[in-house]
Amino acid sequence: MKLTWYGHSAFRVESGNARILIDPFLTGNPSWSGGCEGPAEGITHVLLTHGHSDHIGDSAAILKKTGAMLVASFEVCMYLVGQGVSGEKINPGNTGGTVDCGGFTTTFVRADHSSSFGNDDGSNTYLGNPLGLVLHFPDGRSLYHMGDTDIFGDMALINELHQPEIGIVPIGDRFTMGGAVAALACRRFFNFKKVIPCHYASFGLVDQTADKFVTGLEGSGLDVVIPKIGEAEDI
């Protein structure tokens, strides 16, 4: 499996024939200035955790150009259909559901956050529940992108049901749990082999380093991977 981080919560995951973009906030991302073309090359799927603009990002443009499958909540899917995305290319779900994505499955799990899209007139369009995404691949590996969330006790059930091997964990504080709490979540509820922090070092309002997360996991035996932005890593 190859994983590329583009800053904030945007990732490309490659496994088998699947080429997946998760939360492709690329244009306007303070951590990434490389545009959409490289990250979107050969993309087969776009997965979205929720409807905020720093997660939906460039999804509409990428989906229309590539014809990739959109996997997201029903509300987010229908919002993007309204932006010109093909309704034949959506694969909607909601909390607790699992969908076959062709080459892997995605289970939608709880996230403690919100989900809406800001309109030009200052109003907000409600876009359903925020979600975490658990991806299961045919080789038996599994990846859990938590989306934007705080810690919650039912993370223990997510681990029991899915046994995710790789965790992508928001740590930036203010809008999600901070690094120390995120480390507690990983230690208490999961048996990850590798954890990758995200949702930090982008906007000035969030923490600019992963130091609190790394410190919180010292002695845990967990492999904390901090990718270099834009560089593919074998995970």
Cα–Cα distance measured from residue 190 to residue 149, given in angstroms and rounded to the nearest whole number = 15
CATH of segment(s) 2-234: 3.60.15.10
Could you list the beta-strand ranges (E) of 172-232.
194-198, 223-224
Residues making up the chain, counted from first to last? 235
- Using pLDDT thresholds of 50, 70 and 90, give the confidence band for residue 97: very high
User: What is the domain partition of the chain in residue ranges?
Assistant: 2-234
pLDDT at 188: 98
Backbone torsions φ then ψ of 107, nearest 5 degrees: -110, 130
pLDDT at 111: 98
Sort strands 116-118 and 90-93 into parallel, antiparallel or unpaired: unpaired
pLDDT at 148: 98
pLDDT at 121: 93
pLDDT (average), residues 103-116: 98
**Average pLDDT of the chain to the nearest whole number:** 98
pLDDT at 62: 98
Instruction: Tell me the chain's radius of gyration from C-alpha atoms.
Output: 16
* Nearest in space to 174 (alpha carbons), one of 58, 25, 76, 54: 54
Tokens 């709490």 label which residue?
A: 181
- Using pLDDT thresholds of 50, 70 and 90, give the confidence band for residue 220: very high
pLDDT (average), residues 204-225: 97
pTM: 0.98
Percent of the chain with pLDDT over 90: 100
- Using pLDDT thresholds of 50, 70 and 90, give the confidence band for residue 214: very high
pLDDT tens, position by position, 9-35: 999 999 999 999 999 999 999 999 999
- Using pLDDT thresholds of 50, 70 and 90, give the confidence band for residue 69: very high
Q: What is the DSSP string of 76-96?
A: HHHHHHTTT--GGGEEEE-TT
Q: What is the DSSP string of 145-209?
A: E--S----TTHHHHHHHH--SEEEEE-BSSSS-BHHHHHHHHHHH---SEEEEES-SSSTTS-S-
pLDDT at 54: 98
- Token readout for 43 is 């993309």
Cα–Cα distance measured from residue 143 to residue 181, given in angstroms and rounded to the nearest whole number = 20
- Using pLDDT thresholds of 50, 70 and 90, give the confidence band for residue 145: very high
pLDDT tens, position by position, 152-192: 999 999 999 999 999 999 999 999 999 999 999 999 999 99
